[in-house]
Amino acid sequence: AQTVTQSQPEMSVQEAETVTLSCTYDTSENNYYLFWYKQPPSRQMILVIRQEAYKQQNATENRFSVNFQKAAKSFSLKISDSQLGDTAMYFCAFMKRRGGAQKLVFGQGTRLTINP
Amino acid sequence: EAQVTQNPRYLITVTGKKLTVTCSQNMNHEYMSWYRQDPGLGLRQIYYSMNVEVTDKGDVPEGYKVSRKEKRNFPLILESPSPNQTSLYFCASSSNRDSLNGYTFGSGTRLTVV
């Protein structure tokens, strides 16, 4: 079974700073997807960024980037030039890559607060 | 607009009173799933459905039922709710052809059982 661990329950940084959220996972699969979801106070689940395990290049979406270390089973999220609107709960998630949709396995979440 | 519609948004009920949380998607997705979110535990899968009339248990199925009579609908049924089912619930869907996009989530149902 796959597990996802987020070891930082809460983080807090000043606006415009860079912050990195940690995520590790455990799997025997070789092909899979990794995701970061954002959940603001509205509680909507928003896909922030995704990574295909067979791609060595780290995914980037504007101010959001990941550091994917497949051998170490690590998938951290870096937010550059943080903004007040980045305040949210962030979840790391894993999905096996098989034929068709699969279960998303989530970590415990990290509550991120951006202070003015 | 492509979306997953989940109702109600908030629900307070008493122990033992049967309730149904509805979920509908307009994207023709094959895969649908229910999750519950609890502090410190993240989101855990309750039930999922690979297609019409095909459902299976997730990680925390006790006390819940689901059905998938139509492709677009996937209701969650609590036959006899108990206080330990107080939680935030999410319905989600995904296409078999586009797993890289992850899931589309509903807006959540905050359930309180007293």
Residue A86 phi, psi (nearest 5): -85, -10
The pLDDT of residue B32 is above 80 = yes
pLDDT cut 90: percent of chain B above it: 90
Which residues lie across from B93 on neighbouring strands? B32, B104
Residue B99: predicted pLDDT: 75
Inter-CA distances, B108 with A56, A90, A93, A108, B39, Å:
34, 16, 18, 17, 15
Average pLDDT in chain B: 95
Residue to test with chain B: of A42, A104, A105, most B Cβ within 10 A:
A104
Across the interface, which of A6, A100, A103 has its CB nearest the CB of B96?
A100
Whole-number Å distance between alpha carbons of A21 and A59: 15
For residues A6-16, average pLDDT: 97
The pLDDT of residue B107 is above 90 = yes
Residue B100: predicted pLDDT: 77
The pLDDT of residue B56 is above 90 = yes
Q: If interface means Cβ-Cβ distance under 8 Å, which residues of chain B face chain A?
A: 29-31, 33, 35, 40-45, 48, 50, 58, 88, 90, 92, 94-96, 99-103, 105, 107-108
Residue B2: predicted pLDDT: 85
Would you call A41 an interface residue with chain B, using a CB distance cutoff of 8 Å? no
Whole-number Å distance between alpha carbons of B104 and B46: 16
The pLDDT of residue A116 is above 90 = yes
Average pLDDT in chain A: 95
Is A35 in contact with A106 (CB distance < 8 Å)? no
